[in-house]
Amino acid sequence: MARDEGTRPVIPRQSFGSTGHESSRVIFGAAAFWKANPKIEERTLALLLEHGVNHIDVAASYGDAELHVGHWMQNHRDRFFLATKTGERGHNGAKAELHRSLERLRVDSVDLWQLHNLVDPAEWEEAMGPGGALEAAVDAKESGLARFIGVTGHGVTVAAMHRMSLERFPFDSVLLPLNYTMMQNPAYRADFEALSETCRARGVAIQTIKSLTVGPWGEKERTTRTWYEALGEQADIDLAVHWVLGHDRAFLNGSSDVGLLEKILNAAERLETPPQDTEMENMVTRAAMSPLFT
């Protein structure tokens, strides 16, 4: 674990790929701001500053999230590596969405602009081809609107698709799911490990999501703002967070529930030896966990 100038532990930091930025290993996933209010904004900002989180990940499609993050930027822009995303696949649509994002975020540029959830083969061909969103991203970088370019995605094919993306273009970062139950899928595990090796060799940052996944909600009453059932007990969150951060180059993007944020940060500050498989298997059984994507 890392410590600040006093005695309080803080979130460890490491190089975010080859960008030159030392990012906190827990990134604030601003999907938690889909719907928020000034009180939630204030509480969340205080948590991020207290725990040393210096990286925010948002998206144009996250409801009001960019607007809420934008409320921080006038006074705190220099404290954060700021990332957003576009779900548009064509050049003109992506360009327009970036300008909307900059306006909502109240900034002149972002540090990282990402092609959002790029896993469907037809959408991939459109975004990566002539007149696609990738060309808009390159234009944005050349004009100073975005310093770096990334790609994100969900589902069991995402790791393989990201490897295809890296063969087409030298993205600075990738984002995809990583949790214990998903990695029990042999095909996904093989694809993730191959992607991880590619990223290591090329200096590409790996961001991960869905660390606290229990499984689909099904008929259960929803108790968090996550669209999947998430772990809620601190001891279980410790195991899940420590397991993800045991992957030495991985960053963990926080849950889309502000109420879980402090527990994730507390877990990350106490990061030591990653849990053994027996500990994780016991949690899987105890919490009746199942893969979110199959």
Residue 65 lies in a domain: yes
Residue 252 lies in a domain: yes
**Residue 227 reports pLDDT greater than 90:** no
Residue 294 lies in a domain: no
Q: Rounded distance, CA 112 to CA 175, Å?
A: 12
Q: What is the pLDDT of residue 284?
A: 95
Mean pLDDT of 104-110: 98
Phi and psi at 207, nearest 5°, equal: -100, 140
What stretch of H or E contains 114? strand 110-115
**pLDDT range class, residue 5, cuts 50, 70, 90:** very low
User: What's this model's pTM, rounded to 2 decimal places?
Assistant: 0.94
Contact 155, 118 (CB under 8 A): no
Residue 178 lies in a domain: yes
pLDDT digits (tens, 9 = 90+) for 230-284: 898 999 999 999 999 999 899 999 987 888 999 999 999 988 789 999 999 999 9
CA angle, corner 208, sides to 44 and 21, nearest 5? 70
**Residue 1 reports pLDDT greater than 60:** no
Single-letter residue type at 174 = V
Count other C-beta atoms under 10 Å from residue 130's C-beta. 8
Q: What domain count does the chain have?
A: 1
Average per-residue pLDDT for the chain: 93
CATH of the domain at 106: 3.20.20.100
Residue 172 lies in a domain: yes
Residue 116 lies in a domain: yes
Contact 156, 188 (CB under 8 A): yes
Q: What is the pLDDT of residue 193?
A: 97
**pLDDT range class, residue 8, cuts 50, 70, 90:** low
Q: What is the pLDDT of residue 292?
A: 85
Phi and psi at 215, nearest 5°, equal: 160, -175
Tell me the H-state helices in 143-233: 158-168, 186-202
**pLDDT range class, residue 165, cuts 50, 70, 90:** very high
- DSSP class of residue 19 equals S
Q: What is the pLDDT of residue 2?
A: 52
Q: What is the pLDDT of residue 225?
A: 67
Residue 58: which of 133, 147, 150 has the closest Cα? 150
**Residue 220 reports pLDDT greater than 90:** no
- Name the residue range of residue 21's domain: 11-286
Residue 124 lies in a domain: yes
**pLDDT range class, residue 9, cuts 50, 70, 90:** low
pLDDT digits (tens, 9 = 90+) for 31-77: 989 888 989 999 999 999 999 999 999 999 999 999 999 999 999 99
Mean pLDDT of 174-185: 97
Contact 208, 243 (CB under 8 A): no
Q: Rounded distance, CA 215 to CA 255, Å?
A: 14
Residue 277 lies in a domain: yes
